[in-house]
Structure 1
């Protein structure tokens, strides 16, 4: 669509084309100007000095602001595979699968529209609604208790991508009435608000060029910027927005999750790029500078721990290191910032390489499987002192559904930063998640689980039934050194029966599936990078399994226990978080779309699956 519009403009005089571009706020940039920052902002559309959050007095004013990166973007290596023309049969199969995904989304959106409109989430069994995020009011009626929700904003770009233009227009009209001046909640999560609301508005703007969405992004950005008004300019991640609105002074906490403070840079940088105002870029660059300084000081140099101290800018106190929950996106955003800024911020690539080299050494492990699969999983590492007082990194071998994003991260990094050896690791990590899905009774991966590690990531690892059972008993906190082989086998058989453990698994601690996107995210990215058609079959198997187990009369729901026998229905939870439609179904839809739709060479996804336009030369 956009390419057709540009071809129609080219016969006109160049100045007329440029004039039309500025006046109409056409969003897709003219090729000769692609490397410049966005210039398509209508005069005065963002000049709103009377906006509430812009009027607040600043307690800790800045002496200087870091400018936006200057110069032409680099010609970064291509990420996407050069796809060949598909056959007629392949096209028919792909379109049929894409349609099935869109129908699943359409059912969910219709149910949300009818039963939970303007709320955060649909309750997919009872047809009610849940509100767990911002608690924002409707600007046209701020006294109303109505809560404008995460599902609405999270899915603006999904509606556009799926070509649901009528529904998109309705959603934009509703979203423009969100008021970010007050919240019914005592405390908001700055990270979640950033990735869902700011990311959602920015992405929908990048795709549609609708200036109303950019204005809302600016409003969210102005509100969130106040969370940085602290003595050391580190943000408050769990923020009392009401006190801030009253003009009370504030300071950063002495404890925060590293993901929640280190994963704001993509959204803030993109907002600065499209508005030309560097203040948001400056805000998160201050965090990045601390991350870079602290990266070599941690107990596992290269990695940042799960918890940090923003108040004292001490990011190296904790001893637990993970690419999963509570840390994930701080690592995910490193190569993505390279792509977003067109290579103009090389420090992100340097930090990424340092972190990934450490993770490859300590966090990745090969599990022992009954089919001797050559796969990898990523676990957390705890650095503790041994008997001699030396600090030693030790893996806990806990697998997480959430950490499945790592395969896609490594695939992107392998291309952007020309590290071809990492692509093989990306594939093994993604295959690890695919294997875990297929090994469960319902073909769905649990939240967390344990597996017995192989002696080495690279050597052959033959299945050993007794070694597996010994690990099962050890996972049940039995001292195997005091047990005979016969006792170990008997205890293991009982634990395996009681806990319904498939072969290879030594424990399943969290048996839920909450409609998470991370596995299909990496399958999608790896398919776009490699073109391997086997990944399409893996994606389809995953989609069918999830649909069979989670589909309700209204939409889809979270599952409380996916280890029950295949003949039984998994236990259900009346919950459908916004990321089911905003992330999981979006990735399923895109893997069955033509590769040119949201090309990874033109867009980069934030951690909530919102695609932002990359700076391109």
Structure 2
């Protein structure tokens, strides 16, 4: 039996803990919810993974002074969204029908997650098993909070906030955290839900601050560059940690929106200071790389040398670094021109070296954003590779065209978006593959379709070393290869035939629609949604698919949190009233989490 003093302390602790939890619940119950909500709370599957606890240590490399949020007079930011005309009755009926179908798809996914993987990271859409690859903090739940709010699912939103109370960000099933993924999914999700709900749920900001303070430990290095893969449990326990000599550009340069918004909301400058130091280093070396204006895929954060690698792309491993340049300008309200200048350097280099027109059967005037590598002899070699990930570029260019007064680039943005639409429509499944190659036109103004030229291009790009030498046999060889590889016309290779429920194509279609008001983009979005619905739906949720080059593809047992956080959100928003999450009021992070722009 406990001594009286200890019993009294234990009772006091239990009472205080209960009151704290009760106060959180009272604060959450803003809507008049029925008591049945409490009787149907989903239960979390029992955790099997051991939990690793974060420990706080004194900073080894503290900063002497903090960079403050800029307070200079803001430059005017032009209006972004189109002035939409009132829709007709038939247009409204069609739009609402599509909107309802998207919401139904989300509810199907959400029901499967609640039933099989509540408070876990992801649900297996085939097996019903759960996965915890992102810290085990309920990635799908936190990532989808703002989607619930946007879709008007307020009871589910509040239920999720009640579950959020139980999530402890100081303990994880992973010894090494991916700082980038944790920031964009969790921190972004919490801040966005707080902004969208008008700041009425302090729990969201409390959790964001807790997570931000944990992630801030990854910046405790001699040059304040963060670790991308961070052994957070060890931390500074034995010795000071140092930044990595090989870090992906996207992982280093895509933390600014989330940390800036956390500083704006808390008034604590250390988060903004952390990311602004990265921006200053990137800006200093931007025009010293092997392609001035662009940063290579791999950066040396340990030695603060960002000019060593020779590979360049706007696709995977670099993508959101560029995406965040115009978006950080918006989030800072135009109070600094640094991000505008960085974006202008980058977009000029991308137009010259990365964007190209492919040879297509319909002679479409489209663009693909490819990759380039510079040899040690100084020659640039283009890789005409398309990626689903690069489909964000059209939306980025459209946004930059508006806010930086570069109207001629709206045409470029449309060509890039049309390139992704073409890739979707060219596949038998109606869905674009992860990665593929096409044949670039030598002259974008002289790009007339020739089947023979396409077949010769396939041969030269894939079989030149081992195949026949004369043109006639080259064409015959390539014809046979087209059948074996199931190549659609215009494609020379499909390296990764999967579709993993990615959002980038619908993201750019949504942004371009909100900027131009072109209702034909809604029709394209609907075609994409129907194709995904047909190929990916399972009894539990929606699944990644193995091969988009066939009509009835195999489904894979994976459904990442971005399906409900990004893909379905963008599909919902393109069929919503334009005032819902207006681009003139919000800016989206790379996980589709809208942050409120300063008034």
TM-score, normalising length from structure 1?
A: 0.87
Match of 1:409 in 2: 396
Cα deviation, 1:515-549, whole Å, max 9, x if unaligned, reads 00000000000000000111010000000001001
Q: Secondary structure at the match of 1:572?
A: coil
Q: What is the CA-CA distance between 1:346 and the residue it aligns to?
A: 1.2
Q: What is the CA-CA distance between 1:286 and the residue it aligns to?
A: 0.4
Cα deviation, 1:306-329, whole Å, max 9, x if unaligned, reads 000000000111000000000000
Q: What is the CA-CA distance between 1:297 and the residue it aligns to?
A: 0.8
Match of 2:46 in 1: none
Which whole-Å CA distance do the structure 2 matches of 1:523 and 1:488 have between them? 39
Q: Secondary structure at the match of 1:242?
A: coil
Q: Which moved more, 1:589-598 or 1:206-215?
A: 206-215
Q: In the superposition, relative to structure 1, how do residues 245 and 553 fare at CA in structure 2: closer, same or farther (>3 Å)?
A: farther
Q: What is the CA-CA distance between 1:482 and the residue it aligns to?
A: 5.9
Match of 2:522 in 1: 536
1:510 counterpart = 2:496: yes
CA contact (8 A) 1:298 1:315 kept: yes
Q: What is the CA-CA distance between 1:248 and the residue it aligns to?
A: 4.7
Which whole-Å CA distance do the structure 1 matches of 2:108 and 2:426 have between them? 29
Cα deviation, 1:484-515, whole Å, max 9, x if unaligned, reads 12111111111101000011101101000000
Match of 1:551 in 2: 537
Match for residue 369 of structure 1 among 346, 360, 374: 360
Match for residue 584 of structure 1 among 554, 557, 567: 567
Which whole-Å CA distance do the structure 1 matches of 2:489 and 2:415 have between them? 19
Matches within 5 A, 1:419-430: 419-430=406-417
Q: What is the CA-CA distance between 1:183 and the residue it aligns to?
A: 1.8
CA contact (8 A) 2:467 2:474 kept: no
CA contact (8 A) 2:190 2:207 kept: yes
Match for residue 345 of structure 2 among 343, 354, 363: 354
Match of 1:450 in 2: 437
CA contact (8 A) 1:475 1:506 kept: yes
Match for residue 166 of structure 2 among 177, 192, 207: 177
Match of 1:431 in 2: 418
Q: In the superposition, relative to structure 1, how do residues 130 and 481 fare at CA in structure 2: closer, same or farther (>3 Å)?
A: closer
Which whole-Å CA distance do the structure 2 matches of 1:323 and 1:214 have between them? 32
Match of 1:20 in 2: none
Cα deviation, 1:244-265, whole Å, max 9, x if unaligned, reads 2747521111110010011000
Q: In the superposition, relative to structure 1, how do residues 248 and 105 fare at CA in structure 2: closer, same or farther (>3 Å)?
A: farther
Match for residue 283 of structure 1 among 260, 267, 274: 274
Q: What is the CA-CA distance between 1:476 and the residue it aligns to?
A: 2.0
Match for residue 481 of structure 2 among 492, 495, 518: 495
CA contact (8 A) 2:72 2:336 kept: no
Cα deviation, 1:310-369, whole Å, max 9, x if unaligned, reads 000001110000000000000000000111111012100100000000000000000000
Which whole-Å CA distance do the structure 2 matches of 1:54 and 1:300 have between them? 42
Which whole-Å CA distance do the structure 1 matches of 2:187 and 2:515 have between them? 28
Which whole-Å CA distance do the structure 1 matches of 2:236 and 2:281 have between them? 28
Match of 2:381 in 1: 394
Cα deviation, 1:190-228, whole Å, max 9, x if unaligned, reads 000000011000000001121110000101100000000
Which whole-Å CA distance do the structure 2 matches of 1:373 and 1:314 have between them? 41
Q: What is the CA-CA distance between 1:404 and the residue it aligns to?
A: 0.2
Match of 2:96 in 1: 95
Cα deviation, 1:538-580, whole Å, max 9, x if unaligned, reads 000000001001111111100011112x3xx202101100001
Q: Secondary structure at the match of 1:573?
A: coil
Which whole-Å CA distance do the structure 1 matches of 2:139 and 2:502 have between them? 16
1:231 counterpart = 2:222: yes
Which whole-Å CA distance do the structure 2 matches of 1:325 and 1:342 have between them? 28
Match of 1:314 in 2: 305
| CA RMSD between the two structures | 1.6
Q: Secondary structure at the match of 1:296?
A: helix
CA contact (8 A) 2:54 2:233 kept: no
Which whole-Å CA distance do the structure 2 matches of 1:525 and 1:446 have between them? 21
Cα deviation, 1:397-450, whole Å, max 9, x if unaligned, reads 000001000000000000000001111000000000001100100100000011
Match for residue 599 of structure 1 among 566, 577, 582: 582
Q: In the superposition, relative to structure 1, how do residues 598 and 54 fare at CA in structure 2: closer, same or farther (>3 Å)?
A: farther
Q: What is the CA-CA distance between 1:615 and the residue it aligns to?
A: 1.2
Match of 2:330 in 1: 339
- Give structure 1 stretches of 5+ with no counterpart: 1-23, 28-51, 136-147
TM-score, normalising length from structure 2?
A: 0.90
1:158 counterpart = 2:143: no
- Give structure 2 stretches of 5+ with no counterpart: 1-26, 31-52
1:129 counterpart = 2:105: no
Which whole-Å CA distance do the structure 2 matches of 1:71 and 1:206 have between them? 24
Match for residue 511 of structure 2 among 525, 547, 550: 525
Q: Which moved more, 1:59-68 or 1:321-330?
A: 59-68
Match of 1:205 in 2: 194
Q: Secondary structure at the match of 2:555?
A: strand
